[in-house]
Amino acid sequence: MGRSALIHLIRSQSRCLSSSTFYNTGYRRSIAGTWSTSSSSVIPKVRFPEVSSFKHRSFASSGAKTREDNDDDDEHKISIGPQEKKEENGGGVVYYGPISSTIKKVKLLSLSTCCLSVSLGPVITFMTSPGLNVIMKGAVASTVIFLSASTTAALHWFVSPYVHKLRWQPGSDTFEVEMMTWLATFTPKTLKFSDIRYPDTQRPFVSFKAEGNYYFVDAEHCPNKALLARLTPPKDAHDSAFKNL
């Protein structure tokens, strides 16, 4: 009886040992339907390359959009200094006014305030001062209109000699300048080098005189120094020419 109990105990232990060995060997059923071995303690990592590429694309698109927004903001900024030239020597342009866009924006602002003062100044004066007589109201309204118009006219007088663009072909005796009208629009004008005279005036920001008008070219931002020398004649040469006559 003791021998049969011992044999039964040995058989039960051998069954438990065989079942645990089968589990620890790591046989797993794969998706293809075959058995494969793998370590039970190692968990494979799952990678998603599609997610990574999507992140890179989203970052690139957001960066490009940010650059486009910054470019749009730069176009509407008012800055004093040489502006980036968008034209590559288009139409024989050899000179760009460094503050051309700034002058145009300031002139448009001055024109808009002048129009508002002329149109709304008398109305506001007559509506907000009921205690004043008609003569005083007319004097106040006239003063407002005069001050607004005088500042706009002074600004136009100050910036009217400014050359915004200059077109010239090497070897030509004429050149074309682009000036600004009092309505802040650009108009071209053709001049001859033989008509250039020394500007004998106390007016500021004047480089030369031609056909009775004054013109100003920024010497620091004119790349063609030979052309600049022809546009800015010295005073001695002008006096000697009259002496020879």
- Distance between CA atoms of 104 and 102, rounded to whole angstroms? 5
DSSP state letters, the chain: -HHHHHHHHHHHHHHHHHHHHHHHTTEEE-TTS-EEE--TT--PPP--HHHHHHHHHHHHHHHHHHHHHHHHHHHT----SPPPP-SSSGGGEEEE-TTHHHHHHHHHHHHHHHHHHHHHHHHHHHHH-TTS-HHHHHHHHHHHHHHHHHHHHHHHHHHTTB--EEE--TT-SEEEEEEE-TTS-EEEEEEEGGGEE---S--SS--EEETTEEEB--GGG-S-HHHHHHHS--HHHHHHHHHH-
Which of 15-19, 68-72, 81-85, 94-98 has the weakest average pLDDT? 81-85
Query: Quick one: pLDDT at residue 233?
Result: 85
**Closest residue by Cα to residue 240 from 206, 203, 198, 208:** 198
Average pLDDT score, the chain: 74
**Closest residue by Cα to residue 210 from 225, 227, 231:** 231
25 vs 111, residue with greater confidence:
111
To the question of pTM greater than 0.85 for the whole model, the response is no
Q: Read off the pLDDT of residues 126-175 as tens digits, 9 standing for 90 and up.
A: 888 777 788 888 888 899 899 999 999 999 999 999 999 999 998 899 99
Q: Read off the pLDDT of residues 79-101 as tens digits, 9 standing for 90 and up.
A: 444 444 444 455 689 999 999 99
21 vs 188, residue with greater confidence:
188
Query: Quick one: pLDDT at residue 65?
Result: 52
Q: Read off the pLDDT of residues 57-67 as tens digits, 9 standing for 90 and up.
A: 554 455 555 55
Which of 92-101, 115-124, 231-240 has the weakest average pLDDT? 231-240
- Distance between CA atoms of 161 and 146, rounded to whole angstroms? 24
Residue 194 to residues 206, 235, 243, Cα–Cα distance (Å): 18, 15, 17
